[in-house]
């Protein structure tokens, strides 16, 4: 880690020569391991060399011993300790450039995949840059991107550069050549090479360096980092990339020089340093809905060493960590290699020891989120130890069984059948709602049979309804449409809260426990002043006493603002009477400060 004028950690180059020995006596190919590696029993793949006759098949067998049959060719495979060396990069030389940003830009159409490097400073002269470079991964060649449009960012280092929508690079923060900590936001269109500055609104965060940045659901999340007064901040700042408005900062975890990623709507922080310049030993995450923070200590015999250089990125449900040597004088070398943390089970796994990462001194890495290629940049023997971006090692994560598995598409595929013209034309059944003027909903009988037990029972009953090609559900059209959509997609994530409350009643009526649980989960999390009365009433109808009791307590605490809502005043008489019956006989109305986040925006009254 470098700051201008001070070397915090000294990188020492280690090069080990690994030899591949090839023997080919009498059609025998034998890859020998290095002398230091123990030789396990060899496994031979033997195939018959006897000419085959018509109708016969060749045979193959595995054996732990070499065959002595003269008519057999034997291929013997043994473990090796040979590893690919970094390839040399050509084009412009970047010298001892440190604390720049390197970002993967994916291929699109005829445009091949490339990497973009921006900013940084020269380690020995401390000169700060705002040059833009592009690495052609097909030709392993660096190019200086001279011709750009717009005004480029100021010279800076220790900034972040995040890719958005595949072709927009968002630069934030950093330290400029006047030693000021930046807080501006600049965009680079990687297709047109145009710099632009969106009009920013909201509470702009303080300038910072060594923070982390990640883009998720059209929002830029900035976590941690160091401010100009030397404070390691714990703030998480969120920039809405569609409105360009900063949200108020959220307390998170104080650290710098770390990485962040989002998995299952949780933003994780890994690695880096805490305020006392100690390495962070825990994994912290914040739930992006509730904004609650959790810190996890993982004790495992196979977890990676906290020392060394940690390069990390998210691939599917794996947090991939590559560790390379980075020595301080008098400090023992850490184990290097590839690890992954399964974010579902919180289990570490080591995939490879560090032998092939000892062939160079590594200074940068780049990896697109959920990509299968991990790029390490370092030195080569030809270029010398002061050319930090002269060598490239490409790590194929799929070789280690690390690859992103796409989310299930069955629900979205069936959902498209409900909406598309092709799906509607192939439908063979009709669902009607209580709204006579509402359009009929064309559906597929086979899907309703598979997903809706009540419908299957009705079809098997032999009743008149089983012989008709339509069914009336006596509920509002919006509720019926949402119910059918759930049957097709197995999801209610896009429905308004009021619709979810109505679905809860249908779930109880049709004995559908999964739908009932999904609805309760949403309603517990989304309870607000404006919707709690409806949630209370629908929970009563559905017999969900736990949800009903929570809604009652919420209504008692926030009685003033709740009683002013249309939802409360439009409750049926029996629901209001039930509410009064559950009101404690000793209850009194008192003025209380309204808690934030309930939707009232001011003081209220509680019971």
Q: How confident is the model at residue 57 (pLDDT cuts 50, 70, 90)?
A: very low
Segment 414-424 shows an average pLDDT of 83
3-state secondary structure of 400: helix
Segment 342-355 shows an average pLDDT of 91
In angstroms, the CA 315 to CA 313 distance is 7
Q: Which of 253, 320, 319 is nearest to 281 (CA)?
A: 253
Instruction: Report pLDDT for 21.
Output: 34
Of all helices (H) and strands (E), which one includes residue 220? strand 219-223
Segment 245-261 shows an average pLDDT of 97
Q: Which fold has domain 199-297?
A: Thrombin, subunit H (2.40.10)
- What DSSP line would sit under 48-77, residue for residue? E-SPPPTT----EEEESS----TTEEEEEE
Instruction: Report pLDDT for 444.
Output: 94
> Tens digit of pLDDT for each residue in 206-222?
999 999 999 999 999 99
Instruction: Report pLDDT for 607.
Output: 64
pLDDT > 90: percent of the chain:
65
pTM of the model: 0.72
Segment 489-513 shows an average pLDDT of 95
Segment 394-415 shows an average pLDDT of 83
Residue 390 has pLDDT above 70, yes or no: yes
In angstroms, the CA 416 to CA 429 distance is 17
Segment 559-567 shows an average pLDDT of 93
What value does the mean pLDDT of the chain take?
A: 84
- What DSSP line would sit under 337-390, residue for residue? EEEEEETTTTEEEEEEESGGGGSS-EEEEE--TT-SEEEEEE-BTTTBTT-TTS
- Least reliable range by pLDDT among 42-46, 176-180, 345-349, 401-405: 42-46
Instruction: Report pLDDT for 341.
Output: 97
Instruction: Report pLDDT for 327.
Output: 43
> Tens digit of pLDDT for each residue in 424-452?
889 999 999 999 999 999 999 999 999 99
Instruction: Report pLDDT for 34.
Output: 36
Instruction: Report pLDDT for 6.
Output: 44
484 φ/ψ angles, rounded to the nearest 5 degrees: -65, -40
- At the fourth CATH level, the homologous superfamily of domain 410-606 is Potassium Channel Kv1.1; Chain A (3.30.710.10)
Segment 65-71 shows an average pLDDT of 38
In angstroms, the CA 255 to CA 604 distance is 39
The burial of 525, by beta-carbon neighbours within 10 Å (0-12 exposed, 13-18 middle, 19 or more buried), is given as: exposed
Instruction: Report pLDDT for 59.
Output: 34
- Least reliable range by pLDDT among 47-61, 120-134, 314-328, 331-345: 47-61
3-state secondary structure of 172: strand
Instruction: Report pLDDT for 243.
Output: 98
Residue 77 has pLDDT above 70, yes or no: no
Residue 7 has pLDDT above 50, yes or no: no
């Amino acid at each position: 880690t470098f700051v201008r004028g001070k070397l915090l950690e000294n990188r020492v180059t280690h090069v080990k020569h690994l030899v591949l020995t090839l023997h080919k006596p009498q059609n025998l190919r034998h890859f020998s391991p290095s002398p230091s590696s123990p030789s396990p029993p060899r496994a031979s793949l033997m195939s018959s060399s006897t000419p085959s006759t018509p109708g016969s098949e060749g045979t193959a067998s595995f054996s732990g011993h070499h065959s002595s049959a003269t008519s057999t060719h034997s291929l013997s495979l043994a473990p090796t300790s040979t590893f690919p060396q970094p390839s040399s990069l050509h084009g412009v030389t970047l010298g001892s450039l440190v604390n720049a940003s390197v970002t993967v830009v994916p291929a699109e159409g005829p445009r091949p995949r490339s990497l973009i490097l921006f900013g940084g400073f020269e380690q020995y002269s401390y000169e700060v840059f705002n040059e833009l470079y592009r690495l052609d991964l097909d030709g392993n060649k660096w190019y200086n991107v001279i011709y750009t449009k717009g005004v480029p960012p100021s010279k800076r280092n220790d900034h972040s550069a995040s890719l958005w929508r595949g072709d927009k690079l968002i630069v934030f923060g950093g330290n400029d050549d006047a030693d000021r900590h930046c807080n501006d936001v600049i965009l680079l269109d990687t297709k047109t090479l145009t710099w632009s500055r969106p009009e920013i609104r909201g509470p702009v965060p303080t300038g910072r360096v060594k923070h982390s940045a990640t883009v998720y659901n059209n929002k830029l999340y900035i976590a941690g980092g160091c401010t100009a007064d030397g404070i390691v901040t714990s703030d998480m700042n969120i920039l809405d990339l569609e409105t360009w408005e900063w949200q108020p900062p959220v307390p998170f975890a104080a650290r710098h020089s770390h990485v962040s990623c989002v998995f299952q709507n949780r933003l994780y922080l890994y690695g880096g340093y805490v305020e006392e310049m100690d390495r962070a030993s825990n994994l912290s995450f914040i739930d992006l809905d509730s904004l609650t923070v959790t810190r996890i200590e993982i004790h495992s015999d196979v977890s990676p060493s906290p020392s060394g250089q940690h390069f990390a990125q998210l691939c599917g449900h794996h947090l991939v960590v590559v560790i390379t040597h980075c020595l301080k004088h008098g400090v023992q070398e850490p184990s290097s290699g590839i690890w992954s943390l399964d974010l579902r089970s919180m289990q570490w796994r080591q995939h490879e020891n560090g032998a092939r990462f000892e062939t160079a001194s590594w200074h940068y890495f780049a990896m697109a989120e959920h990509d299968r290629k991990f790029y390490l940049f370092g030195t080569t023997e030809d270029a010398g130890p002061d050319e930090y971006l002269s060598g490239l090692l490409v790590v194929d994560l799929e070789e280690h069984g690390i690859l992103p598995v796409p989310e299930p598409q069955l629900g979205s595929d069936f959902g498209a059948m409900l909406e598309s013209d092709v799906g509607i034309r192939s439908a063979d059944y009709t669902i009607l709602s209580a709204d006579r003027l509402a359009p009929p909903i064309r559906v597929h009988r086979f899907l309703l049979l598979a997903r809706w037990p009540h419908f299957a029972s009705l079809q098997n009953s032999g009743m008149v309804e089983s012989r008709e090609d339509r069914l009336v559900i006596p509920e509002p059209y919006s509720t019926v449409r949402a119910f059918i959509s759930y049957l097709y997609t197995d999801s209610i994530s896009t429905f308004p809260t009021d619709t979810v409350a109505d679905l809860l009643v249908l779930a109880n009526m049709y004995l559908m426990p999964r739908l009932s649980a999904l609805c309760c989960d949403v309603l517990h999390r989304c309870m607000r002043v404006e919707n709690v009365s409806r949630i209370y009433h629908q929970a009563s109808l559905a017999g969900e006493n736990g949800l009903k009791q929570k809604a009652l307590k919420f209504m008692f605490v926030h009685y003033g603002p709740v009683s002013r809502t249309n939802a409360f005043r439009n409750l049926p008489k029996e629901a209001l009477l039930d509410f009064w019956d559950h009101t404690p006989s000793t209850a009194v109305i008192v003025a209380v400060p309204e808690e934030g986040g309930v939707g009232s925006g001011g003081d209220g009254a509680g019971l």
